[in-house]
Amino acid sequence: MKKLFLLFLSTTLMFTTSCSSDDDNNTPPPAPRNTVTKANILVLDLSDNPMQNVTVYAQSESNWDANGGASSTNANFEVTTGADGIAKFDDLYTEADFNSGNNFTNVYRFSVFINTGTTTGNVTVGQSITMGEEVNITLNSL
């Protein structure tokens, strides 16, 4: 009778005990969309005058690494400077770049490609940005 009771008890425990999920999904959840991340990039020429109608390209850290550096064709975002020389990125957001895995912080690189006829090249500045932050950056051109 004692053996039968122990068998019944062990069988009952085996069927009533739950197991944890074996799902190894390590993808961090995306950032909440209740906040906006902004960057204002002031582009200056060699004489420290604002440069109008210059395209500024923004690349996330992962995009920068995947493309081997500054890229105008593979940028996450692009904005043209206004009369004040400022390119205003009003919503720097991709789920891959702001998530709990990186504490909602990412490094963005802002680049301009200049061709003045005598000088050709690009200038890039990097900035760590936390989601919801607004940053002001000066980019001194060639």
Q: What is the CATH number of the domain that holds 65?
A: 2.60.40.1120
What pLDDT does 82 receive?
Answer: 96
Cβ-count burial 89-117 (b if 16+ within 10 Å, e if not) = beebbeebbbbeebebebebbbbbbeeee
Give the residue numbers spanning the domain of 39.
34-140
Question: Of 27, 7, 2, which Cα lies nearest the Cα of 101?
Answer: 27
pLDDT digits (tens, 9 = 90+) for 77-87: 999 999 999 99
Average pLDDT, the chain: 81
How many structural domains compose the chain? Answer: 1
Establish if 27 belongs to a structural domain: no
CA–CA–CA angle 49, 53, 57 (5° rounding): 100
Establish if 51 belongs to a structural domain: yes
What pLDDT does 78 receive?
Answer: 93
CB under 8 Å to 63, separation ≥6 — which residues?
71, 74, 75, 76
pLDDT digits (tens, 9 = 90+) for 13-66: 666 665 555 555 666 555 555 678 999 999 998 899 999 999 999 998 888 888
What pLDDT does 133 receive?
Answer: 92
Read off the pTM: 0.72
What pLDDT does 36 receive?
Answer: 85
